[in-house]
Amino acid sequence: MLSIMKLSPKMKKALNDQVTLETSAANSYLAMASWCEVTGYQGAADYFYAQSDEERTHMLKIVHYLNSLGTIATIPATKAPSSSYKSLEMLINTALKNEQAVTKAIHNMVEIAQKEKDHSTYVFLEWFVNEQVQEETKFETIIQKFDLLGRDKLGINEIDKFLATEATAPADPVA
Ligand code: FEO
């Protein structure tokens, strides 16, 4: 059902840019999963395949939101992600940096919504604000494991096992 509420051009652009960011994140995690799989980190591969699926659900949430307001979402072409990594630790660090950039973009949209008194988008974004806290914490926790368990083969193996237990299907169904 189409709503009569209109998005400002600025908010429309920001939401479409976010579709691009979430799509890039999905592709980036897919590339990471693939690298982990061929490198022999099966737990990490499972983790990042699931993470990639999760990012796709984020992208779809925004696509559905834009479409529900009668603003047809732009499905973007994205830059190819890096397909090789020096180590699992570097890969996780890259993932955390990705999430920090996504958080910044979400917060920027919240500020636009506040300024424009766009209450509908403000409420819509609340889920993303909370999600980003969880996402950053997840990756910070994994990074901490390298100090706790070590960076030798045994340590990495333990981290890979930990990632296998953390690999889950998207927790939140697409709204
Ligand atoms: Fe959808 Fe991990 O940001």
Closest CA to 125 of 169, 66, 54: 66
Contacts of residue 25, defined as CB under 8 A and 6 or more positions apart, other chains included, come to: 55, 58, 98, 99, 102
- The one-digit pLDDT tens for each residue of the chain (175 residues) are 445 678 999 999 999 999 999 999 999 999 999 999 999 999 999 999 999 999 999 999 999 999 999 999 999 999 999 999 999 999 999 999 999 999 999 999 999 999 999 999 999 999 999 999 999 999 999 999 999 999 999 999 999 999 999 997 555 544 4
- Is residue 21 in contact with ligand 1, taking CB distance under 6 Å? no
Quick one: angle between helices 153-166 and 42-68, nearest 10?
A: 40
Q: Which stretches within the chain are classed as H helix?
A: 9-39, 42-68, 88-115, 119-149, 153-166
- Is residue 56 in contact with ligand 1, taking CB distance under 6 Å? no
- Is residue 102 in contact with ligand 1, taking CB distance under 6 Å? yes
Q: Is 140 helix (H, G, I), strand (E, B) or coil?
A: helix
- Tell which atom from ligand 1 comes closest to the C-alpha of 51: 2
- Is residue 26 in contact with ligand 1, taking CB distance under 6 Å? no
Quick one: angle between helices 88-115 and 9-39, nearest 10?
A: 170
Please give the distance, rounded to the nearest whole angstrom, from the Cα atom of residue 25 to the centre of ligand 1. 7
Contacts of residue 36, defined as CB under 8 A and 6 or more positions apart, other chains included, come to: 42, 44, 45, 47, 48, 88, 91
Closest CA to 17 of 76, 57, 99, 61: 76
Please give the distance, rounded to the nearest whole angstrom, from the Cα atom of residue 135 to the centre of ligand 1. 7
- Is residue 28 in contact with ligand 1, taking CB distance under 6 Å? no
Q: How many other CB atoms are there within 10 angstroms of residue 82's CB atom?
A: 12
Looking at residue 149, its amino acid is L
| Nearest protein CA to atom 2 of ligand 1, as residue | 99
Tokens 């766009």 locate to 118
- Tell which atom from ligand 1 comes closest to the C-alpha of 22: 1
Contacts of residue 55, defined as CB under 8 A and 6 or more positions apart, other chains included, come to: 22, 23, 25, 26, 29
6-36 tens-digit pLDDT:
899 999 999 999 999 999 999 999 999 999 9
- Tell which atom from ligand 1 comes closest to the C-alpha of 99: 2
